[in-house]
Structure 1
Amino acid sequence: MNGDAARLLGRWGEAVAAEDLRRKGWRLVAAGWQCRFGEIDLIAENSKYITFIEVKLRKNADFAPARAAVDRRKQERLRTSAELYLSQHPTDLQPRFDVAEVYAPDGIATRAPEIIYIEDAF
């Protein structure tokens, strides 16, 4: 898979996760928010939390769960990016870091991708 195809697939996974969050009553604040420290896939909020969400798309979990790709280094980049976001967009909501695992065996042709949402992942 070339870089463009991988990016397209990743954006599709983020859109699937964003729609799932909307169905659960969350308000999507940003998607693909970038800064000099990295990118935050999704930022969503409800009445209590502002949540920074890392979306990981995989065909399956045969090798390892998708969340395993959110290692300590990735977590630090996300924390630093979130700090910058919050400095630019102050809020009284409690920040939280979540991971959305999207399993799509047939890529974007998958009719019903499985979404496993891990709240307060790190």
Structure 2
Amino acid sequence: MNLGLFGLEGEEKAAKFLKKQGYRIIDKNFQTRFGEIDIIAENKEYIVFAEVKARSEKSIAEPKEFVDLKKQRKIIKTAEIYLSENTTEKQPRFDVVEVKKENGKTIVNHIINAFEVE
């Protein structure tokens, strides 16, 4: 499968998963000059900035390992811009949603509060 296509499929599966967990999807692929946030969602308590990492069965590393400190900083800066343009009373939270293939099945793993603002 084309990696870009699997990435898009991964984002769709992540959004579907979050909806089933009671989140409302506010935005997808929010971009600034600093970076992009794959999914912005909310529940009763939090506004969630979610990075989706999709990997095929052939990947050696776990998807979450690709969200390094540099990527976290870009996501945080982009979230700050989003929040400056869209006020909310909800607490921000940074999650990672892993989408991976295992034995031909798609597995979704939601890592809540995967990283924090320093």
Fold match by TM threshold 0.5 = yes
Deviation at 1:48, TM superposition (A): 0.2
Instruction: Give 1:30-69 correspondences, 5 Å limit.
Output: 30-60=27-57, 63-69=60-66
Q: What stretches of structure 2 of length at least 5 have no aligned partner?
A: none
Q: Identify, as 1 or 2, the structure richer in strand.
A: 2
Q: Name the amino acid aligned to 1:114.
A: I
Identity score, percent: 43
Instruction: Give 1:62-101 correspondences, 5 Å limit.
Output: 63-101=60-98
SS at match of 1:22: helix
TM-score by length of 2: 0.90
* Displacement over 6 Å in runs of 4+: none
Deviation at 1:63, TM superposition (A): 1.9
Going from structure 1 to structure 2, the CA distance change for 1:62 and 1:34 (only over 3 Å counts) comes to closer
Q: Name the amino acid aligned to 2:110.
A: Y
Separation (CA, whole Å) in 2 of partners of 1:8 and 1:35: 23
Q: Name the amino acid aligned to 2:29.
A: G
User: Is residue 2:22 matched to residue 1:25?
Assistant: yes
Going from structure 1 to structure 2, the CA distance change for 1:75 and 1:17 (only over 3 Å counts) comes to same
Contact conserved, 1:58 with 1:105, CA < 8 A, in 2?
no
Deviation at 1:59, TM superposition (A): 1.4
Q: What stretches of structure 1 of length at least 5 have no aligned partner?
A: none
The alignment's C-alpha RMSD in Å is 1.8
Q: Name the amino acid aligned to 2:95.
A: D
* Corresponding residue pairs, total: 115
